[in-house]
Structure 1
Amino acid sequence: MNWDQVEGNWRQVKGKVKERWGILTDSDLDEIAGRREQLLGKLQARYGYATERAERELRDFERFMQAYEEAES
C-alpha cells in the first residue's frame, strides 16, 4: 500500500478506516489526512494499543486494502 497515494485519495480511503476503527472521530480522520504515522498515533491514543499492536493492526489493514484494490481492478 503506497501511503503517498493514500494521502492523495484520503477521502475514499478514510471510509474504510472508519469502518475498521469506528472509535476514530471525523476530527481524528481529518488530522490523519492519509499519513501513516498519524494513524498509528491515533490508534494508540483512542484504542490504547501499544506500538507493536498498532503496527500489526495497520499492517493487517494495508493487506486488506491491497486485496481490495486488486479486486477492484
Structure 2
Amino acid sequence: MSLFSVEETKDKWKQQVGKAKLVWGKLTEDELLATEGRQEKLAGLVQERYAVTRDEAEKQVKEFFSKN
C-alpha cells in the first residue's frame, strides 16, 4: 500500500467515524479515529467493549465496511 493510499484511507475513515459511532456507541470518537479505519484494530475494540467473540466482532466490522 502506498503512502498516498494510506492517507486516503485515513481521510475516508474520518468521514465514516460518525456512522461508526452510531453502530458502536460504546466507542469514543477518539478511539474510532485511532483505529485509522483498520478493520483489525476496530474489530479488537468492538470485541473488547462489547464482550463478543473475535469472529463476531470481525463480522460486524466487515458488514459495516461493506455498507459504507
What TM-score comes out, normalization by structure 1 length?
A: 0.71
Number of corresponding residues? 62
Structure 2 Cα separation of the partners of residues 63 and 12 of structure 1: 15
Matched, 1:14 2:17: yes
Matched, 1:44 2:47: yes
Structure 1 residue ranges (4+ consecutive) displaced by more than 2 angstroms after TM superposition: 4-8
SS at match of 2:43: helix
- Contact kept? 2:47, 2:53, Cα under 8 Å: yes
Q: By how many angstroms is 1:45 displaced?
A: 0.8
Pair 59,30 (structure 1): closer, same or farther in 2 beyond 3 Å: closer
Q: By how many angstroms is 1:6 displaced?
A: 3.8
CA RMSD of superposed structures (Å): 1.6
Matched, 1:28 2:27: no
Of structures 1 and 2, the one scoring higher in RCO (CA 8 A, sep 6+) is 1
Q: What percentage of residue pairs aligned between the two structures are identical?
A: 34
Structure 2: gaps spanning 5 or more residues: 1-5
Structure 1: gaps spanning 5 or more residues: 66-73
For residue 33 of structure 1, what is the amino acid of its counterpart? E
